[in-house]
Amino acid sequence: MSILDDTLRDLVMANRILAYEGVLDAYGHVSVRSPNDPGRYFISVSRSPELVTREDIIECSLDGKPVRNEPRPLYLERFIHGAIYEARPEVLGVVHSHALDVLPFSISTTPLRAVLHSAGQLGHRMQVWDIADRFGDTTMLVVNMAQGRDLAERLAGDRVVLMRGHGFAAAGRNVREVVRLSVNMPRNARALLDAIRLGGPVKGLSQGEIDKRLEMRPDGSEFHRAWEYWAKRAGCGDMLEAPPRGVTVAKPAAPKKRAVPPKKKKR
């Protein structure tokens, strides 16, 4: 398979995984930058992520325009993706989610911060972007490049940015990393909310602990296990490629032979 084939396969799997893990529902989307042209990205047409297939994937320029004529409806908020790719050349995968667990931190003064070891890769800060600050009363959807660029400016060099009363956007160095960030985002938010309810101070990750997580390679073999696990759960395990070198995959145990009782001798 070509690099493009691998990229599009991972994008289809990312849609299925994020839907199964509850990060995306009927809405929300994930995209990947084109490996052949950094000025383009791939994303599904307007379809619920759980149902996305290879035939639903289209290629867009960074301004959100399909490269080829596309009669099917597109995601209204695809401008989130193009604007982040435009601002961040190192970003190869973007997710926009409406995960409910994250929303309280987008409408309160309590900041969302990394408290779980697996959430260290979310980074040191998760700022809130409020579309009303610049654009006034809107539907709160990011429907043009001006709004997308304003969001990308708030994201700055961070991994994730919250969207007031709406959800979050996450940026990763490949599509598998951004899936991992997006799965861990609501889990981390739930843990922090539960700790706040218990009362008393909450101890999050230190700057050094987060730094060590941020230093981890996005394609490290230790992360293949999670990708494989999520793919199996989401019903797309048949799309998995061979594991990276050094990762062993257990073969299913051979079925035990049923013991056959000895025949009785005829008298």
Query: Is the pLDDT confidence value at 117 over 60?
Result: yes
d(CA 192, CA 204): 9
Q: What pLDDT, on a 0 to 100 scale, did the predictor assign at position 255?
A: 46
Q: State phi, psi for 36 to the nearest 5 degrees.
A: -100, -20
Q: What is the DSSP letter of 123?
A: -
* C-alpha angle 226-178-182 in degrees, rounded to nearest 5: 80
* C-alpha angle 37-41-44 in degrees, rounded to nearest 5: 145
Amino acid at residue number 223:
F
b/e 153-165 (16+ beta carbons within 10 angstroms → b): ebbeebbbbbbee
d(CA 218, CA 43): 21
Point out the residues that are catalytic: 77
Query: Is the pLDDT confidence value at 118 over 50?
Result: yes
Q: What pLDDT, on a 0 to 100 scale, did the predictor assign at position 87?
A: 98
Please identify which residue in the block is written with the tokens 């230790």. Answer: 222
Domain 3-239 class in CATH = alpha beta
Q: How many CB atoms lie within 10 A of CB 262?
A: 6
Residue 143: partners with Cβ closer than 8 Å, 6 or more residues away: 76, 77, 79
Query: Is the pLDDT confidence value at 220 over 90?
Result: no
Q: What pLDDT, on a 0 to 100 scale, did the predictor assign at position 222?
A: 80
Answer whether 13's CB lies under 8 Å from 239's CB.
Answer: yes
Chain mean pLDDT for the chain: 92
Q: What pLDDT, on a 0 to 100 scale, did the predictor assign at position 252?
A: 44
Q: What is the pTM of this model?
A: 0.89
Rounded mean pLDDT of 241-262? 52
Q: What pLDDT, on a 0 to 100 scale, did the predictor assign at position 219?
A: 82
Q: What pLDDT, on a 0 to 100 scale, did the predictor assign at position 265?
A: 53
